[in-house]
Amino acid sequence: MGFDKAQRSNPRKVTPLFKELFLMRQLSSLLLVGLLAACSTNEQAPSSTTNQAPSLRILSPSNGASISGSGTRAEVSVSDDKAVTRLTRQVNGGSEQDVEIQPTQSGNIIFWIPLVSGSNAVVIRAYDAEGLSTSASLNLQVGSPGSGGSGGGSSGTDYGGYTLPSGPTYYVGPGGSNTNDGSRDRPWATLSFAVQRLKPGDVLRVLPGSYNESVQVTVSGTPSQRITIASDTRWGAKLNAQGNLFGIDVRGSYVDIVGFEVTNATNSGIISWAPYNRFLFNHVYGIRAQCDSNGGAGLNMSSPNSSDGVILGNLAHDIGDLSQGFCVRIHGIYLGAPRGIIQNNIVYRARGNGINTWHAVTGAVITHNLSFANLYSGISVGSGDNTNGNRAENFLVANNIVVYNPRGIREVNNTGVNRFVNNLVWNNEVNWILQTSTQQGSLSLDPGFVNYRPDGSGNYALQSTSPAIDKGITEQTPSIDFQAKPRLQGSAPDLGPFEVR
């Protein structure tokens, strides 16, 4: 694969991300109690019989609609004797904001109306090229939490303490159609169609079902308006890449890929080529990568451009054809760019390293992972084949559990001083291979899983008597664990992906 050298250098903080997530959870419990009165008036009389003002009709929200969230999706029908060239929304007498539209003589337009708690007076206006306009108004009441209703019922508990953001939300679902409007009741059919329509702040929720697609994401969010592409329930949306290179191929930035099951790609399950992307809570397996110069991975941020990425809470296993023996180019999780964060993941049965770093990596954070039964190493820290001049240094590798691999944790090729702190590394053929660093506080003890099985069919939570409980350091600890339960319980975080107590 060819890589270029663009990079960003902004330092990124870890914990504010999760504060943001929990704030979103609170917002999502707001109820929108719809109380609307619609009326339609021409604000300017037609100046001649040769030009008519547009007509405008509100199709949704319907009168009395109850919607959870901090705004509502709206759909209007417009027409004009020539063309409607501009559509605007105005909330509570604020500025008139343009809705992005293509000029149309007649058609339906879908857009988002952000709302505030309490009473909202909304005015929508359609203009033609001559400046004639027609307005329609809505009154919407947004209630406070606990004011009644079901809360929308769509938050689910599968993600534990993680709640999907509550921005403008669209849906893909089984039995959907790409001629639908992307609402929950009328979802789109394919992710590939849906992702092209996303704008900063948007949320795409994919309803449970099977999807035979290889999805390329070219849109980007912004630092404050990330784009979220999520399985509506954790692992409920099952993506079969059908032998294409990638399951989900992210080319844009500030994109979150959340909770998908991905299989049957021939290079990588989920891959990022750009900075500031996050892979959260996915399950990737059965990746048929070949042991050639391309290699592959379950979760792949190996491009030097994919800096400042986060790979958190994922399960990756059976990466490459294990019957062919080890291959140092096929990994569970692969990081090749600066400042990546790899936390709370479970990785096993990769042909190469469970967690691997290479290319332009530097300053990575690798904590609270479990890596077992891989064919080469549990965690491999190194850099090479890199035109950016970086080397693998200033890593924090802490609170991980690495067992039953040929090599436990190692440094390889171009490395500097890294910190290996409080890892449990046990029953690997060789537990440690460090070359420019030392390790502190390591445990070499049976971690005491509930049920260890090398094929992945076990239960890798810790028994209450485990020596790994409360043995973690708190530096860079995420606020949640693999199950999105609170990470900090007891006197200290537990080692590995699960916080037991």
Q: Does 470 bind Ca ion (CB under 5 A)?
A: yes
Q: Find the shortest distance in angstroms from Cβ 488 to Ca ion.
A: 7
Minimal distance, residue 83 CB to Ca ion, in Å = 8
Minimum distance, C-beta of residue 51 to Ca ion, in the bound complex (Å): 5
CB 487 to Ca ion: min, Å: 8
Q: How far is the CB of 490 from Ca ion (least distance, A)?
A: 3
Closest CA to 96 of 70, 117, 115, 124: 124
Least distance (Å) between residue 77 CB and Ca ion? 16
Q: How far is the CB of 80 from Ca ion (least distance, A)?
A: 4
Residue 389: CB minimum distance to Ca ion, A: 40
For residues 492 and 307, give the distance between their C-alpha atoms in angstroms, rounded to a whole number.
30
Residue 42 near Ca ion by CB under 5 A: no
Which of 80, 261, 318, 393: binder of Ca ion (CB under 5 A)? Answer: 80
Residue 63 or 105 with smaller CB distance to Ca ion = 105
Nearer to Ca ion, 227 or 500 (CB): 500
Kindly state the tokens that stand for 116.
Answer: 């505030």
Residues 296 to 335: which contact Ca ion by CB under 5 A?
A: none
Residues 409 and 420 sit within 8 Å (Cβ to Cβ): yes
Query: Which residues ranging from 114 to 133 are in contact with Ca ion (CB under 5 A)?
Result: 128
Which one, 82 or 199, has the nearer CB to Ca ion? 82
For 422, which DSSP code? S
The strands making up 430-433's β-sheet, listed across from edge to edge, are 215-217, 246-250, 268-272, 296-301, 330-335, 353-357, 377-383, 407-413, 430-433
d(CA 470, CA 423): 12
The candidate with the shortest Cα–Cα distance to 372, out of 298, 311, 454, is 454
Residue 294 touching Ca ion (CB under 5 A):
no
Which range touches Ca ion (CB under 5 A), out of 141-149, 261-269, 316-324, 465-473?
465-473
Exposed, middle or buried by CB within 10 Å (0-12, 13-18, 19+), for 135? middle
Which residues fall within 8 angstroms of residue 94, CB to CB, at 6 or more apart? Answer: none
Binding of residue 463 to Ca ion (CB under 5 A): no
CB-wise, 318 or 494, nearer to Ca ion?
494
Sorted by sequence, the CB contacts under 8 Å of residue 279 that are 6+ apart come out as 256, 257, 270, 272, 299, 301, 309, 310, 311, 312, 314
Backbone angles phi, psi at 19, to 5 degrees: -60, -40
Site for Ca ion in 151-170 (CB under 5 A): none
Of the candidate spans 3-11, 73-81, 94-102, 209-217, the one that interacts with Ca ion by CB under 5 A turns out to be: 73-81
What is the residue whose two structure tokens read 């990022």? 272
Minimum distance from residue 155 beta carbon to Ca ion (Å): 27
Binds Ca ion by CB under 5 A, chosen from 217, 494, 497, 498 = 494
| Nearest residue (CB) to Ca ion, 418 versus 483 | 483
Compare residues 402 and 473 and give the one whose CB is closer to Ca ion: 473
Q: Pick the binder of Ca ion from 208, 406, 486, 490 (CB under 5 A).
A: 490
Number of residues that bind Ca ion (CB under 5 A): 10
Residue 489 contacts Ca ion per CB under 5 A? yes
Sign of CA dihedral 269, 270, 272, 275: negative
Q: How many CB atoms lie within 10 A of CB 144?
A: 11
Cα distance between residue 278 and residue 271, in whole Å? 10
Q: Give residues in contact with Ca ion (CB under 5 A).
A: 51-52, 80-82, 128, 470, 489-490, 494
